[in-house]
Amino acid sequence: MPEFGGQTGDVVLGAMRISTSNGDECTDDTADAVKVISVNATGTSVPSGTTKTVSVTQALAAAGDYAAEDVMCNNATTGIAWTFSAIARANGASGYITKAHALWETTALTPRLTLYLFNTTPTTELDDNKANAAPAYADLAQYIGKIDFPAMEDLGGMSESEVTPSTSGNLPLHFTCATAADDLIGVLVTRDAITGEVATKSMTIRLTVEQL
């Protein structure tokens, strides 16, 4: 069996298949088409370039008005991060966030939001309605970056905001998951003071990614 840069490969029906030490495969069956195949935690083969949307919903504690730069989540005393599970095709894999969508069940609210993303749970404040401290220097190695949502709006429905590569907001955003994980961890922060919020009304954040 031929070797390619320390990897092993074989030729099958005119196609070249290269298998890496971690089980990934690269197959070239035409002059210009190559797909990288990985196996995720459930044993399912996932090709690079796969698009996936991961949605997380929390019923915000919202016990009182939010000040600008407050954290937003569903618990004011034992804060809960926003965990985007299985967002990568395998543990330690990478990708690009290509779209982000924030939807709040409470109508007629117009705050700007920021989502800070990490590949492990950060050490900073996670409690709802508390002053944000992310990103902290202690979390620098785990920090992926941030997504800035424009002001939310509604035309008779939920309050919502959307970020794409054609808008401001820092997309596409490259990420790499932790070696033993396939998720990203978020801290959601309001950039504006908010009044008129309703406790336990749901906030949903959806991230669409292209997995590498």
pLDDT, residue 1, reads 45
Domain count, the chain: 2
- pTM comes to 0.79
45 is a domain residue: no
Q: Are residues 131 and 28 in the same domain?
A: no
Q: Are residues 100 and 173 in the same domain?
A: yes
Q: Are residues 74 and 148 in the same domain?
A: yes
Q: Which residues, other chains included, contact 177 with Cβ-Cβ below 8 Å and sequence gap of 6+?
A: 87, 88, 91, 92, 93, 94, 119, 183, 184
pLDDT, residue 29, reads 46
**Reduced to 3 states, what is the DSSP secondary structure of residue 41?**
coil
pLDDT, residue 197, reads 92
Range of the domain at 149: 50-211
Q: Which residues pair with 204 in a beta bridge?
A: 57, 103
| Tens-digit pLDDT profile for residues 126-141 | 999 999 999 999 999 9
Q: Which residues of 20-67 form beta strands (DSSP E)?
A: 25-28, 34-39, 45-47, 51-59
CATH number for position 205: 2.60.120
Could you give the percent of the chain with pLDDT greater than 90? 75
User: What is the average per-residue pLDDT within 183-203?
Assistant: 96
pLDDT at 4 over 80: no
pLDDT at 149 over 90: yes
Q: Are residues 28 and 112 in the same domain?
A: no
30 is a domain residue: yes
| Tens-digit pLDDT profile for residues 49-94 | 799 999 999 999 998 999 999 999 999 999 999 999 999 999 999 9
Q: Are residues 34 and 62 in the same domain?
A: no
pLDDT at 160 over 60: yes
Q: Are residues 90 and 180 in the same domain?
A: yes
pLDDT at 95 over 70: yes
44 is a domain residue: no
CB of 115 closer than 8 Å to CB of 67: no
Q: Are residues 35 and 70 in the same domain?
A: no
